[in-house]
Structure 1
Amino acid sequence: MTSVHEDLLTIGAFAARARLSAKALRLYDRLGLLAPAYVDESSGYRYYRAAQVERARLVALLRRLDMPLARIAEVAGAEGGEAARLLGAYWADVEARLAGQRTLAEYLRGRLSGRSEEMYGKFAVETVDVPARVVITESRHTLADELPAWIGASLGRLEAAARECGGVAAAPFVVYHAEVSTESDGPAEACVPVADEAAARAWAARQGRGRETGVRVEPAARLAYVRITKAQVAHPQILAAFEAVEEWLGREGLEPAGPCREIYFADWTAAGPEDPVCDVAFPVRAR
């Protein structure tokens, strides 16, 4: 090397300063997280500057948090306060995911140990007869992670459109025409009952082809349902509510007469975690 490069460290010397292995440094280079300051074209030897030690140690620590490579690059490339903010945002996501997984594990433990009475006994199943209703709708194939945001947005759009259709005539609801999970994308259908069928059909016609909106008549039905709180709407607690209704149907000699649904009768924004906000329901009929 020329004198221009005399301040560079060999990969072995740099690895010792960074308390990492040469293998790890080669990996970081390959992943685009920490490139050598200089690579000798003839020998292929890598050389680093002492100023790169801090980034090398930071990358190693962030990898121990299972941080995705793209986010490691973002944090490592940011300045102090912004880097801390990015790390905080990532860890908040991790804790939210772990909290959900912890709840799911407890739910599955209950299922696997046969604690059905403990799981379902807290839900009181009731029935109600509902008349036929005209509904304006918006449908979407969506996975579970995207579902809450889509429900809020789609019902908001439909409630705004209901002003053109005689107003909202009953509680909005979401129908699941197939399973929505981390692997199955439904579809789900957001529905808002409206008072003026002619105006609703005119509204639907203005949406144009290719839009996932529409209008239809929801038939009269007897619904079996349980009422749940805002906290229980979260996955997987809501699964236990659906299963409680299904178990009750089996005991009562009934069966689903249509797809399951969630009926949102309360102001979601104003509700607290323990406030009732939703009915989990199935249309039912005798076997």
Structure 2
Amino acid sequence: MSLLLTGRKDRPVTEDARVDDELLTIGAFAARSRLSPKALRLYDRLGLLAPAQVDEVSGYRRYRAGQVERARLVALLRRLDMPLARIAEILDAADGPDGDRAAGLLNAYWATVERRIAGQRTLTGYLRGRLSGRSHEMYENYVVETVDVPELAVLTETRHTLADELPAWIGASLTRLEAAAAECGGVAAAPFVVYHAEVSMESDGPAEACVPVADAAAARAWAAANGRSRQTTVRVEPAGRLAYTRITKAQVAHPQILAAFEAVEQWLAGQGLRQAGPCREIYFTDFAAAGPDDAVCDIAFPVE
């Protein structure tokens, strides 16, 4: 009876059950399970696949033949580059009465793999363009304009974060700040995120989430009363001019968004303009409700 993501079922003692209880040396078990003795020792130490018997004197391990299916399941899951901790979780679920839960855990893991592969595929295309000297072709798809913006009082949260944690933090922090802004006269302009240093898989910023508020005095009072526990502060964003390009929700994903930042930088160089402050993302619509092709964000640089 296979255990492959179906769960273990109680069954009467039969000839098959007696065969399952047959003890095998680690070499014989390794041959049947398609795992090396070295791997079997590792999985024993990690609690994934303990031998049925261990000789106290010699240390020789013996496995039951009925453990072969579990061992093969471990081998197959490892071929998916699945972390051992996740394999243990799936094995525990497969041993229980609900095999669908084990299959669900596998599905959830594979969904994350596919998202990662999709991102890597896009990154590969981006890098191919750069390495082949055709990066300028990517920038031609972006229209860069300038706009004058007024002085704004903003509620802010600042955090050191790596690129993989950034999207979740942006959503959560802007949600918190917009709720606070409702107590300070409301949101006065589009929320934005300022990058005071590079955010990547190696560099952690910091990034600053900002929500403009209508009542600066109320915001300062609110921050004085609540800001310490929520790490929220109030500051003034000065008036100035921004050079920006507008992108869709699909283009916000990494690495497409890198091309947008670089397109603005290229435009600034061509116009002889100088960057006057840190770059930013300005979210002028409901990001969650937008479709992939809907414009949601301006990639902007203060200029002088």
TM bucket, shorter chain: over 0.9
1:82 to 92, 96, 101: 101
1:164 aligned counterpart, secondary structure = coil
Give 1:3-18 correspondences, 5 Å limit: 7-18=22-33
Percentage of pairs with the same residue: 80
Q: Which moved more, 1:210-219 or 1:33-42?
A: 210-219
Q: Which residue in the other structure is 1:50 paired with?
A: 65
Q: Which moved more, 1:134-143 or 1:224-233?
A: 134-143
1:5-39 Cα shifts (integer Å, max 9, x gaps): x8422222322332433333223223432111110
1:210 Cα deviation after fit: 6.5
CA distance in 2, matches of 1:198, 1:15: 72
Contact 2:242–2:301 (CA under 8 A) maintained in structure 1: yes
Give 1:126-141 correspondences, 5 Å limit: 126-141=145-160
2:119 to 91, 94, 100: 100
Q: Does 1:196 align with 2:215?
A: yes
| TM-score between the two structures when normalised by the length of structure 1 | 0.94
1:65 to 46, 69, 80: 80
CA distance in 1, matches of 2:255, 2:295: 17
Contact 2:34–2:75 (CA under 8 A) maintained in structure 1: no
Q: Does 1:179 align with 2:208?
A: no
1:265 to 258, 274, 284: 284
Q: Which residue in the other structure is 1:30 paired with?
A: 45
1:89-118 Cα shifts (integer Å, max 9, x gaps): 111111100110111111111111111331
Q: Which runs of 4+ in 1 moved over 6 A?
A: none
CA distance in 2, matches of 1:126, 1:217: 24
| TM-score between the two structures when normalised by the length of structure 2 | 0.89
Q: Which residue in the other structure is 1:3 paired with?
A: none
Q: Does 1:238 align with 2:253?
A: no
* Cα pair distance change 1:261/1:69, threshold 3 Å: same
* Cα pair distance change 1:249/1:81, threshold 3 Å: same
1:162-195 Cα shifts (integer Å, max 9, x gaps): 1111111111111011111111111111111111
1:224-247 Cα shifts (integer Å, max 9, x gaps): 000000000001100000000000
* Cα pair distance change 1:18/1:200, threshold 3 Å: same
CA distance in 2, matches of 1:65, 1:31: 19
What count of residue pairs does the alignment treat as equivalent? 280
1:256 to 261, 272, 275: 275
CA distance in 1, matches of 2:45, 2:198: 41
- Give the letter aligned to residue 27 of structure 2: G
Contact 2:52–2:64 (CA under 8 A) maintained in structure 1: yes
* Cα pair distance change 1:204/1:20, threshold 3 Å: closer
1:199-255 Cα shifts (integer Å, max 9, x gaps): 011011112547531111100010000000000000110000000000000000011
CA distance in 2, matches of 1:16, 1:9: 10
CA distance in 2, matches of 1:46, 1:238: 54
1:137 aligned counterpart, secondary structure = strand
Alpha-carbon RMSD across the aligned residues, in angstroms, is 1.4
CA distance in 1, matches of 2:121, 2:103: 26
2:274 aligned counterpart, secondary structure = strand
- Give the letter aligned to residue 222 of structure 1: R
Contact 1:140–1:212 (CA under 8 A) maintained in structure 2: no
CA distance in 2, matches of 1:176, 1:24: 45
CA distance in 2, matches of 1:186, 1:67: 30
1:131 Cα deviation after fit: 0.8
- Give the letter aligned to residue 60 of structure 2: Y
1:14 aligned counterpart, secondary structure = helix
Q: Does 1:142 align with 2:153?
A: no
Contact 1:125–1:248 (CA under 8 A) maintained in structure 2: yes
Runs of at least 5 residues in structure 1 that lack an aligned partner in the other structure: 1-5
CA distance in 1, matches of 2:291, 2:278: 28
1:99-145 Cα shifts (integer Å, max 9, x gaps): 10111111111111111331100000000000111111111111111
Contact 2:227–2:233 (CA under 8 A) maintained in structure 1: no
